[in-house]
Structure 1
Amino acid sequence: MTETPPSPSRWGLTFPLDGIPLGAQRALVESLPDLGFTDLWSMETAGADAFTPLALASVWAPTLNLGTAIVPVHTRGPALLAMQAAALAEAAPGRFSLGLGSSSPVIVQDWNAVPFEQPFQRSRDVLRFLRAAFTGQPVTEEYDTFAVRRFRLDRVPAHVPPVLLAALRSGMLRLAGREADGVILNWLSPDDVRTARAEFDAAAGPDHGKDVVARIFVCPTEDADYARALGRRLIAAYLTVPAYAEFHRWLGRGDALKPLWENWAAGDRKAAAASVPDAVVDDLIVHGPAGRVRERLHEYVANGVTVPVPALLPVPEQGAQALASAIKAVSPA
């Protein structure tokens, strides 16, 4: 076993945790700094919204950095998004980062009744609008995907939040490098980080110092069969989304995942999940005992992630002790 390298200066956790009422997570959040965590990053799919849990955490643990990973660029109007981000930045001065992303047709169109159109252009336009809005000056602008007339943000935070962009392939990675304050990565292996960073860094320029945040799915259990079965179901659900499918073709997994996509297209969900090779699961889902989990997380850091953000998956064991052990397993200690 190789020696674990030093932790980066920041280390996150995906929040809130599943299976526990949000209001009951205060003690857990308060304990995180003692375990070495510096960050909490929320997400927004079909559970909690991205902002409310972080508003609570801003009071519960006033030293933690907070971030959204991610807020979809289609599901809020530009002005509302600016106001929500500014409010959280005011509640957690200097500790909040706004992570944006294009999300997916299911979340945007099927669930929120908003057309999923021009995701690259919409992401770029929202990013540019927020830059203008956070100055506190009136914004009247015709963007490619929307127009804003005479909007002025009344409560400009003293610490304007960094704006990060979720990115998969070259176009969005380079946009993040050029115009955002950092990039958010998802569903990739430690080796894949090098591929993504090459595109991001090429656009950001030398010595850019921008954040590279990665959400990393972790199942801290020694039951490899359990972890792989869970991982196959998640991979089947996520990597059949067109943007993620193209991402993994770009990363070189086209042949390995071809049976998944063919079975999914044929409507055989069970066969689709079963067709995902162990090697792909092991690439994309961190699992094993605590020591192996930490080693794997540090591989992401060694390859260029500046803020690793483990996302805990359910483990076979139940109860408070199992949860505490899982959190400790993904801590930097």
Structure 2
Amino acid sequence: MDLVEIEQKLKAAVKDSEFLKKEGEVASYIPELENVDKDNFGMALTTVKGQTLAFGDEKIKFSIQSISKVINLIMALEDFGPEKVFSKVGTEATAYKFNSLIPIDEKVVNPFINAGAITTASLIKGGDVEERFNRVLAKVRELSGSEDVIFLEEVYNSEMKTTDRNRSIAYYLKSKEIIEGDSEEILDLYVRNCSIGLNVRQLSEIGGVLANGGRSLKDGRQLIDKNVVKTTLSLMSTCGMYEESGRYSIEVGFPSKSGVGGAIIGIVPGKCGVCTYSPRLDKFGNSVRGKKVLAEISETLNLNMFIGGNNGNF
């Protein structure tokens, strides 16, 4: 299958999903997210050879929200190693909502619920919040192959004003001695990371790097240790779509992570990274139209990892 045929199938999937453009609601509990055009849609696919196809609102930057949890996990593993990280955060899926306090005992159930991401954010090294956040921005720029990565201050301010539940989670984690350091500073970093602004092209390139075993798409340098990639993709596959992760895995069949800003990043190991952006969400916090498009291209491009055979000849 050449790029022309892949492009045709991607366009067909986008067209077939148009009936969903008015279904779902934006994440109104963060006021600034209500200000986006609810009908925006963009998608991009980047192969491990560095070729990118993009459609729709491909240049619009949006806050990555919970997709930042992938970056938090990668950096925590790089900074402290798996033994330290997984002494505080588990590896199992959960039926509870992403902002729940329930699945916290001696450790947090997984790194992709809010409590888990606050914990992994606490394991990003740096002298203060600014230094830590600058390291995160540098990592995102390196993985996306773009210096044009922005901080959406309006989203950050809006979220900080309405983040009482996450604040309670951070203080509870501190009381359980799961996180170390100042709870407010850790919460600040977590929300800053959620407020990073990217477009679908940039996110699909990050997906492409992960699909390429952590190697740069430009020069082949190892940007992420391959064992960190393995761990990250495994957890994305089982926990990346919140309570819907199991069903999503059946219908789409490759590791993905959603964010309530409306984006979904997906990784087909050895093949490509893909990103969709559509702000209208279902009750789980996943993009309604994004899921539909990813399920369609998974089928038409043979990308489901659990079927076998030639999973997409890129």
Same fold, TM-score > 0.5, yes or no = no
Q: TM-score, normalised by structure 2?
A: 0.25
Q: Could you tell me the TM-score, scaled by structure 1's length?
A: 0.24
Larger Rg: 1
**Relative contact order, higher structure (CA 8 A, sep 6+):** 2
